[in-house]
Amino acid sequence: MKSIFISRINILLAIFLMACNSQNDKKLEQALERAKENRQELEKVLDHYKKDSTKLAAARFLIENMPYHFTLEQYYTSPRKEKYRPDITLFDGFQSVKRHCDSLTNRGYRIETHYKYDISKLNSSFLIDNIELAFAVWKKPWAKNVSFTDFCRYILPYRAQYEEVSNLRKEFMERFLPLLDSADVKTPLEACIVLRNEIEKMVRYEDTGLSLYPTISETYRSGIGTCEGLCNFIAYAMRSAGIPVIIDQTTWVKMDRGHCWCAVLDNGHFLSFGENLAPGVHARLFSKTRTLRPAKVYRLQFEPNLTEDYGKNDDGYAVSFKNPLIQDVTTEYLDKPTTIKVTIDMDIKENKRSNQVYLCNFNYNKWTDIALGYRKDSICYFNDVVGDNIFMVADVPDGNSLRFITAPFYVSTEGEIHKFIPDIQNKSSYTIHKRPEGYKEQHTLSYWDTQHKKFTPIEYVSETDTTLSYNNIPGNALLWLYIPIHMYNQRAFFLENDSMRVY
């Protein structure tokens, strides 16, 4: 009886959405106009479902949001302009693929990147098949209580991020549904746990050696991938089985580069999971492990969040977290985000184009923007940021490149600020231990020069096989030990009580 009631509620909601859409036909028409020559294909989908209000609402959802989605198509081109993408399943591991790609480069091959927008490329047959298959799994016991809105957002979509659109949905259904049926799962969380355990037998984290954006087919056939390839595959597989799943991501602030993972929607809440980490365990590990605590977490949605103010007062600087498909979900992961209020350290005129400012973290040997804030007079504000990290603030007055307007600073978990403005007159001594794996390599200790906005080398006074000693380190300085051969995870640090605090 309950399932019949829920089904009726979902149908009523779909009809309500259709009524709303009658007032919002402008959005659909704009999408159809963007389709240009592909408009007829999209209209075939709408016409196909004109007598089924629920599926028509789902079709509209896809079409209206398709202009925001694209395939990041990458391949090699030969000197004769021939397209080529290596099949990683034909090679014996990372080194074999890498040697092959290096040989291509040496022979004059170059990587080309193209953006193929869904609105102008996807045909009616693909979209109708996707809708039918999605509705088929929505009837499953673990999916039937998923609302129509959540179904559209987290089961219906045919892509996870920017991967090549896949035709594997039916194959995945046929492979995974018997497993879930036999497990007698009743909720999205139960289904996710069972399927995740199966997927872990199929794919694992491993660099493929191919420096092209991964496809779901590559990950599926090879059984390996980095976090982005694995997430795209997992999200697509989960949705194919009627499990509402999304992808979340971060830029690390105590390690280099970034990471992405999946989250399952269960009973109104998202539960993250990742490699060897089950839902419920994954997010707790983030909170408890110092190096894994991100400062910001973002979620990539299929449906954009376009507020009335979106795009206004924008400085023109292109960055991922301005994407209307990106949602800030930091507070879902970490219990102590704070508001950062930091004063600028430059005598500059206000940027008349925009009051936007960027929170930056030192990542992979450069300052990388990780969050958007705003400036009011001489104070910059950033909401919901996790502290115990080192940042610096920049603006973009020319619309192209970051201009740093504060000194680097440490922010505590409570939002207290300590700026690293080097005191050249008050120098200290310290002995640096060389990295064990690079004793024979050149080690360069530098401090962040707030006047010249760069790391400036410091001369050592003595050296041994394992140490470098200094007597001229500026007081209150942010430091960086650089080893050219070891580019990864060379983090900034500062000295406190004769010890290094590394971030």
Q: What is the mean pLDDT of residues 298-312?
A: 88
Weakest-pLDDT range from 270-284, 378-392, 443-457, 467-481: 270-284
Would you say 370 and 326 are in contact if contact means Cβ atoms under 8 Å apart?
no
- Taking Cα atoms as reference points, which of 441, 453, 452, 421 lies closest to residue 481? 441
State whether the Cα torsion 45-50-55-57 is positive or negative. Answer: positive
- Taking Cα atoms as reference points, which of 350, 362, 451 lies closest to residue 395? 350
pLDDT of residue 14: 44
Report residue 4's pLDDT band, with 50, 70 and 90 as the boundaries: very low
Q: How distant, in Å, are the alpha carbons of 341, 440, 452, 498 from that of 422?
A: 21, 30, 12, 17
Domain 330-419 has CATH 3.40.50: no
pTM above 0.95, yes or no: no
The radius of gyration computed from the CA coordinates of the chain, to the nearest angstrom, equals 26
CA distance 353 to 232: 37
Weakest-pLDDT range from 8-17, 35-44, 191-200: 8-17
pLDDT tens digits along 53-93: 999 999 999 999 999 999 999 999 999 999 999 999 999 99
Q: What is the mean pLDDT of residues 451-466?
A: 96
Q: For the chain, give the mean pLDDT.
A: 92
pLDDT of residue 24: 62
205 forms beta bridges with 225
How far from the centroid of its chain's Cα atoms is residue 479's Cα?
Answer: 28
Report residue 13's pLDDT band, with 50, 70 and 90 as the boundaries: very low
Q: Is the pLDDT of residue 248 over 90?
A: yes
pLDDT of residue 435: 84
Would you say 167 and 126 are in contact if contact means Cβ atoms under 8 Å apart?
yes
106 or 487: whose pLDDT is higher?
106
Q: How distant, in Å, are the alpha carbons of 312, 345, 357, 393, 397 from that of 382?
A: 18, 17, 9, 10, 19
Contacts of 420 (CB under 8 A, 6+ apart): 390, 407, 408, 409, 410, 448, 450, 476, 477, 478, 494
Q: What is the mean pLDDT of residues 154-172?
A: 98
Report residue 346's pLDDT band, with 50, 70 and 90 as the boundaries: confident
CA distance 259 to 257: 7
Contacts of 384 (CB under 8 A, 6+ apart): 296, 328, 330, 331, 337, 338, 339
pLDDT of residue 9: 39
Would you say 270 and 331 are in contact if contact means Cβ atoms under 8 Å apart?
no
Within 10 angstroms of residue 427's Cβ, the number of other Cβ atoms is 15
pLDDT of residue 158: 98
The DSSP letter of residue 165 is P
pLDDT of residue 421: 97
Q: What is the mean pLDDT of residues 184-207?
A: 97
CA distance 468 to 233: 47
- Taking Cα atoms as reference points, which of 50, 17, 34, 29 lies closest to residue 148? 17
Q: Is the pLDDT of residue 203 over 90?
A: yes
Q: How distant, in Å, are the alpha carbons of 77, 107, 134 from that of 80?
A: 8, 11, 42
Q: What is the mean pLDDT of residues 118-140?
A: 98
The DSSP letter of residue 403 is E
Within 10 angstroms of residue 106's Cβ, the number of other Cβ atoms is 8
Q: What is the mean pLDDT of residues 474-493?
A: 90
pLDDT of residue 6: 36
SS3 assignment, position 482: strand
7 or 478: whose pLDDT is higher?
478
Q: What percent of the chain has pLDDT over 70?
A: 94
